[in-house]
Structure 1
């Protein structure tokens, strides 16, 4: 069976799609899973064995309408799961003649163009986003949702990391990434709070890295220059494939509700996420999903109520990752 899943939004959304894909592959032997996603998220797909093929959403949408349908048809998908609801993709899948088209009752445009409907209202749900994905597998798999969803991330294909970065990780100190920004996609802890936290982290015990995109590097530059000399600035240096590998090689990561936070959880390292306490942005819906995860929810409309001392207390509980470097 060839199954297409759609998740055309951000890095974290694609990360949280991996458990469903891995579970489907285990439950339906011989299944090929393809994801329709944005170009910049491809590195997430490449590192995981849960997905076999990548269909570039932006390239598909750049084609004339008739070629879009023909392209979709050429992949000979047996089923499509609309994890993200896009009216034009619903119509395209219908015109392409995909046999099983799974959508939700809550989207009226799914009523005529999907032939398998699941009752699902995301905004009102108390379930985690990754668990909501599993609700949409019912027309294909009747098995109960597994308990430890992180067992199905299947991150194995890490890009080689240049020696310079490997040496930065080669220390007896606890290595921790602080990822301050979110591209304005989530609430952000103040840079002043990050600075206070850095002051609490003993440089004899912790090796601290700051990460961020090239765009965020410009925004963070004045702040980074104000930090103590032992803090290592990696902003703008790591394209996504290398960032994933670097995250996998450290002991912990602190961030808001961002893609790197979800990647850290998927890699299985110590992960602390900072969240608002209101739906649908809270940790219950978007919290880090992994074997060593934790979160703090704010008591106000911002993250200002989260103190550096509270974050430091959580980080102190973390244990250094045990790795076989042989």
Structure 2
């Protein structure tokens, strides 16, 4: 009888992307198993696009049920193991009440001592491992031995779009010369990462345009409203402003059709890397935000970081991060200029 695993990761999109190797490794350790992702509504499209995820358990829908029905819903999945990658006291409790046979969590959460029967010694804050390797460490009770080398982990980060890109955007992206790159810039981070800043992104847009490339701006509708004046100022350098226009499934299709993205350590950066596109991340050097922990993973993923580890200025004034702003737009342009155009990913 095949086994069923639940991976509980209920935070942000980028975090979910870097948890996908857990699902891939479970399929390698237990051929024929089923892997379910327990996540938030906004991450469902990531689960649907990942070949290692067999089904999705929606936390937001689960929380609408009375407590006894939440327990019944988890029990109805038929899961024999749950891996609490993102600790959640309530989910740990209902998994225990649901009688899931193996419940894996970290030792440094007190509620896991009450609700989990497989405890893993894991400290993320001071580790030298990548986030994806730390996530995989939670499989040690299931036979995973030692950290996988990062290139092997990266091979398990894989997404494929599930919906086609609308014809107008597909035609817009296709209307380029062979030497041109379609480059997505994602200026905002919604608080998930240090930001490079609008002046730098504006200068990069101008440099890319002058070099003959095509620039697309992505972001949420709220971010588009925040960027209104900046977008107007830089309109002549942009092929399209796509802020607020795409739901996540189609945004995945957009990224899979563009050549690459430049962004901070955000969900879109990790999505593009997992889709096999060029993904250039801009990072501060300080822990725990540094690329050693959060670099994008994929065949064309890369990053830039200012060489000033443990910058105390940035620790003291996070909003005025001087290290990430020390990355010059010309340096970023030079790295993008090394990209080779990529064919659109097939559905």
TM-score where L is the length of structure 1: 0.95
Query: Which of 245, 250, 272 does residue 258 from structure 2 map onto?
Result: 250
Q: 2:204 corresponds to which residue?
A: 197
Task: Measure the CA separation in 2 of the matches of 1:115 and 1:324.
Answer: 42
Residues 238 and 198 of structure 1: is their aligned pair in 2 closer, same or farther, counting only changes over 3 Å? same
77-86 or 181-190: which moved more?
A: 181-190
Gaps of 5+ in 1: none
Q: 2:17 corresponds to which residue?
A: 15
Q: Which has the higher helix share?
A: 2
Gaps of 5+ in 2: 315-320
Task: Measure the CA separation in 2 of the matches of 1:222 and 1:228.
Answer: 10
Name the SS for the 1:30 alignment partner. coil
Q: 1:304 corresponds to which residue?
A: 325
Q: 1:274 corresponds to which residue?
A: 282
Task: Measure the CA separation in 2 of the matches of 1:316 and 1:204.
Answer: 9
Q: 1:68 corresponds to which residue?
A: 70
Q: Deviations over 1:233-266 (max 9, x none)?
A: 1111111111111001111100011100000110
User: 5 Å matches for 1:37-52?
Assistant: 37-52=39-54
134-143 or 206-215: which moved more?
A: 134-143
CA RMSD of superposed structures (Å): 1.7
Task: Measure the CA separation in 2 of the matches of 1:101 and 1:238.
Answer: 37
Query: Which of 274, 298, 318 does residue 290 from structure 1 map onto?
Result: 298
Task: Measure the CA separation in 2 of the matches of 1:308 and 1:153.
Answer: 29
Q: 1:124 corresponds to which residue?
A: 126
Q: 1:167 corresponds to which residue?
A: 171
Q: 1:95 corresponds to which residue?
A: 97
Is structure 2 residue 175 aligned with structure 1 residue 176?
Answer: no
Q: Deviations over 1:267-313 (max 9, x none)?
A: 11111111121111111111111111211224452122121122112
Name the SS for the 1:138 alignment partner. helix
Task: Measure the CA separation in 2 of the matches of 1:148 and 1:209.
Answer: 32
Instruction: Give how far 1:153 is off.
Output: 2.8
Conservation of the 8 A alpha-carbon contact between 1:22 and 1:154: no
Q: Deviations over 1:60-96 (max 9, x none)?
A: 1222222211111121210000101111111111111
Q: 2:318 corresponds to which residue?
A: none
Instruction: Give how far 1:202 is off.
Output: 3.9
Aligned length: 325
Is structure 2 residue 218 aligned with structure 1 residue 211?
Answer: yes
Instruction: Give how far 1:143 is off.
Output: 5.2
Instruction: Give how far 1:203 is off.
Output: 4.5
Task: Measure the CA separation in 1 of the matches of 2:135 and 2:335.
Answer: 30
Conservation of the 8 A alpha-carbon contact between 1:50 and 1:153: no
Task: Measure the CA separation in 2 of the matches of 1:311 and 1:136.
Answer: 36
Task: Measure the CA separation in 1 of the matches of 2:166 and 2:206.
Answer: 29
Instruction: Give how far 1:142 is off.
Output: 3.1
